[in-house]
Structure 1
Amino acid sequence: MFSQLKNIDTAFKHIKTFSIFLILANLITICFVIYSNSRITEKASERIYLLYNGKVLEAIASDKKSNLPVELRDHIKTFHQYFFNMSPDDKAIRQTITKALYLADESAKKQFDNLKESGYINNLISANISKDIQVDSIRLNINQYPYVFTCFATEKLVRSSSTVYRRLITQGVVDELKAKTDDNPHGFLIRGWEILENRDLPSKP
C-alpha cells in the first residue's frame, strides 16, 4: 500500500511538473504571437498603396525624423531660389519674392526692402540683368532647435555684354509650423535670416 501511495505521489509530481512546463510554454507562445502580430501590424502601417493611372502602387512610409534633413534643405534651397532668382521684370520679381516671403519671417522682407531702397532692383531692371542662383551646399544642425543653417551659393548675373559670378553666404534658423499649406508645403519658417557675404568672384577665363 505504501508502494502504491509512493507511486501516486510520484505520478502527481510528474503531472505537476508537466503542467507547469505546459503553462510556461503556452505563455511563451502567447507572448511570441503578440510580438509577431505587433511587428506585422507595424510593418503593414508603413506601407501605403497609391492608385495612379488605374494601377496600384506600393510606397513605404517613413517617420518625419528620417526625412527632416532632406525637407529642411529643400525648404532652404527653395527659399533662396525664390529670393535670388530674378529676371529684369518688376512683376516677375514681385511674384517670386512673394513666394519667398511665405517661407521666411520679416527678416527676409527687411533684406528685400534694403535691396529696393538701395536701388539694386531698379538697376537690375534698367540694365536688363537676369540673376540665377546655384545652391552649392547647406550646413545644417538638426540636433539643435530651432535648426541652425548656413547656406553657401553662387549667383550668376547675366548682362548683354558680360557675365558676373558672386559668392553668397547666408545664415538663419528654421522653426517648425503647426500646419502645412500650398504656399509652404514643408511647414517650416526661416527666422533671423541674414546675408553674411555677397561679393564678386574672379572672372572666369
Structure 2
Amino acid sequence: MFTQFKNIDTAFRHIKRFSLFVIVGCVLLSGFAIHKSYEQVEKAQNRIHILYNGKVLEAIASDKKSNLEVELRDHIKTFHHYFFSLSPDDRAIKATISKALYLADESAKKQSDNLQESGYYNNIISANISQEIEIDSTRLDINQYPYAFICYATQKLIRSTSTVSRKLVTQGKVRDIKSQTDNNPHGFLIQQWEILVNQDVPLKP
C-alpha cells in the first residue's frame, strides 16, 4: 500500500514538472509570437503607398537617426552655401543671409554683423564681385551631442578681370530642434559657429 502511495506521489511530481514545462513553453512561445507580431506591424506602418500617374508605388519610411550623418552634412553644407554665396546686389545678399540665419543661432548673426560693420558686403557690391563656395569636406562627431563639426571649403571671389580663391575653415556644433519647417527642413540648428581660417590661396607658379 505504501508502495502504491509512493508511486502516486512520484507520478504526481512528474505530472507537475511536465505541466510546469508546458506552461513555461507556452509563455515563451506566446511572447515570441507577440514580439514578431509587433515587428510585422511596425514594418507595415513603415511602408507607404504612393499613387503616381495611376500607378501604386511602394516606399519605405525611415526615421532621422537612420540618415543622421547625411542630414547633418547637408544642413551644414546648405548653411555655408547661403552664408557665403553672394551676389553684388544688396537685396540678394540680405535674402541669402536671411536664409542662412534660419539654420543657425546668434553666433552666425554675430559673424554677419561683423562683416556688415567692416564693410565687406559693401565692397562686394561696389567692386561687382560674385562669391561662390565649394565644400571640400566636413568632419563630424556624431558620438557626442550636440554634434561637433569642422567644415573645410574653398571660396571663389569672381571679378570681371580675375578670380581669387580663399581657404575657409569653420567649426561649430549642431543640435536637433525636434521640428522641421520650410525654412529649416532638416530640423537642426548650428550653434557656437566660428570662422577659423579665411585666407587667400597662393597662386601656383
TM range (shorter): 0.7 to 0.9
| 5+ long unaligned stretches in structure 1 | 1-7
- Could you say which residue in structure 1 is the equivalent of 2:116? 116
Distance 1:35 1:109, change over 3 A: closer
Distance 1:92 1:22, change over 3 A: same
Aligned partners of 1:198 and 1:31: how far apart in 2? 60
172-181 or 77-86: which moved more? 172-181
Shift of 1:50: 2.3
SS of residue matched to 2:143 = coil
- Residues 82-161 of structure 1 mapped to structure 2, 5 A cutoff: 82-161=82-161
Partner of 1:41: 41
Tell me the percent identity: 68
- The 1:194–1:24 alpha-carbon spacing in structure 2 relative to 1, beyond 3 Å, is closer
CA distance 1:169–1:185, change in 2 (3 Å): same
Give a deviation string over 1:142-175, Cα, whole Å, max 9, x none: 1111111111000011111111111000011112
Read off the aligned partner of 1:114 and give its amino acid letter: N
Distance 1:159 1:153 in 2: 20
Tell me how far apart the structure 2 counterparts of residues 39 and 141 of structure 1 sit (CA, whole Å).
Answer: 31
Structure 1 residues 113 and 15, CA gap change in structure 2 (3 angstroms)? closer
Distance 1:17 1:128 in 2: 91
Question: Are 1:185 and 2:171 counterparts?
Answer: no
- Distance change in 2, residues 1:40/1:178 (3 Å): closer
- Partners of 1:125 and 1:62 lie apart in 2 by 44
Deviation at 1:51, TM superposition (A): 2.7
Distance in 2 of aligned mates of 1:97 and 1:148: 22
| Displacement after TM superposition at 1:196 (Å) | 0.3
1:197 aligns with 2:197: yes
Runs of 4+ in structure 1 off by over 4 angstroms are: 8-29
Instruction: Name the counterpart of 1:4.
Output: none
Alignment of 1:60 with 2:60, yes or no, is yes
In 1, Cα distance between the equivalents of 2:69 and 2:51?
Answer: 28
One-letter amino acid of the counterpart of residue 126, structure 1: S
AA partner of residue 141 (structure 1): D
Other structure's SS at 1:202 match = coil
CA distance in 2 between partners of 1:142 and 1:197 (Å): 23
Q: Secondary structure at the match of 1:86?
A: coil
Name the SS for the 1:92 alignment partner.
helix
For residues 85 and 41 of structure 1, the distance between their equivalents in structure 2, rounded to whole angstroms, comes to 46
How large is the Cα RMSD of the aligned pairs? 2.7
Gap runs ≥5 in structure 2: 1-7
1:54 Cα offset (Å): 3.2
Q: Secondary structure at the match of 1:87?
A: coil
Q: Which amino acid aligns with 2:136?
A: D
The one-letter amino acid paired with 2:101 is: L
TM-score (structure 2 length as normaliser): 0.85
C-alpha change, 1:36 and 1:169, in structure 2 (3 Å) is same
Aligned residues: 205
